[in-house]
Amino acid sequence: MKAHDNSLKYFSLGTIWLWLIVFALLPFALVTLASFASHDDTHLLTTPATLLNYFQLNNAIYLKIFKQSFYIASTCTVICLLLGYPFAYTIARMQSRYKSLLMLLIIIPFWTSSLIRTYSMITMLKPKGIINSILLWTGIIDKPLPLLFSDTSVMIGLVYNLLPFMVLPLLTNIERLDNRLIDAARDLGANRFTTFRRIILPLTMPGILSGSILVFLPAMTIFYIPDLLGGSKSILLGNLIQNQFLIAQNWPLGSAISVVFTLILAVMLLVYWHSMGNKERDLL
């Protein structure tokens, strides 16, 4: 029995590790290699090895794109948190038979491809789209709002697509929160605000952080949402990398951008990891 348990354990761990090595570590190693390659009109990648790609990154345009992406991803994360936290809190504390139904409603959008849902947002946001039609019909506005192809539409698309990734970890975390701790805080003289700030918020911090990571990372790199909803004006980091690979055919530069981006995220994660105690690491 014991030996059998172990073989299953090694098998499942081994499969996942193999999978990650083949499809994550290996590609990343290849990308890293490519970032040191040169390219010319006939070759995507060629010798000699060079650091030129990295020097090229020190360019005002790229820095601006990075800053812009960082700004949009952070704003998106904050909006998702502000929208998602009260929502997750309400559902998690709910003692109703509709609770599981409400949780199901968060999952349902995943049944349709995110790309298709983003296309459908164009129908909603375009000048003669559903939102503008309703606003015109009710007389709230008298000419269509330029919703589509702006930073606003990119933000709406990002928040819409990524909100579940904020809500789900929060839900799990808040559900685990012990009601009796809240009672204890109230009993000791804490009003609702103090109870939230001193007890609920610190204890749900692991959920907030995992939700934020799950929203922030895709928001930086997801390229089809700025592509479809932002028009030609929004170029974010994801688009930049995509352009270098698919349009400019400059694989070494695209790789260098990816590597730098990955390193920055890795540093951020490390800083965050070190700022947590052991206990919070376990909860994550």
Binding site for another protein (CB under 8 A): 178, 180-181, 183-191, 194, 198-199, 202-203, 279
Return the number of the residue (99 or 186) whose C-beta is nearest another protein.
186
Shortest spacing between CB 91 and another protein, in angstroms: 22
Distance CA 92, CA 177 (A): 9
Return the number of the residue (58 or 278) whose C-beta is nearest another protein.
278
Return the number of the residue (41 or 282) whose C-beta is nearest another protein.
282
Shortest spacing between CB 196 and another protein, in angstroms: 13
66, 84, 88: which is closest to 161 by C-alpha?
84
Taking a C-beta distance cutoff of 8 angstroms, is the pair 51, 254 a contact?
no
Return the number of the residue (111 or 193) whose C-beta is nearest another protein.
193
Q: Which residues of 248-268 are buried (b: 16+ CB within 10 A; e: fewer)?
A: eebbbbbbbbbbbbeeeeeee
DSSP code of residue 143: S
Shortest spacing between CB 263 and another protein, in angstroms: 32
- Is residue 112 classed exposed, middle or buried when 0-12, 13-18 and 19+ CB atoms within 10 A define those classes? exposed
Taking a C-beta distance cutoff of 8 angstroms, is the pair 248, 167 a contact?
no
Return the number of the residue (142 or 187) whose C-beta is nearest another protein.
187
Return the number of the residue (143 or 180) whose C-beta is nearest another protein.
180
282, 85, 263: which is closest to 174 by C-alpha?
85
- Residue 46 — φ and ψ, nearest 5°? -155, 170
Shortest spacing between CB 277 and another protein, in angstroms: 9
Largest distance between two CA atoms of the chain: 75
38: β partners: 46
- Residue 38 — φ and ψ, nearest 5°? -105, 170
Shortest spacing between CB 183 and another protein, in angstroms: 6
Shortest spacing between CB 99 and another protein, in angstroms: 18
Shortest spacing between CB 193 and another protein, in angstroms: 11
Return the number of the residue (103 or 205) whose C-beta is nearest another protein.
205
- Residue 71 structure tokens: 């700004």
Distance CA 66, CA 73 (A): 10
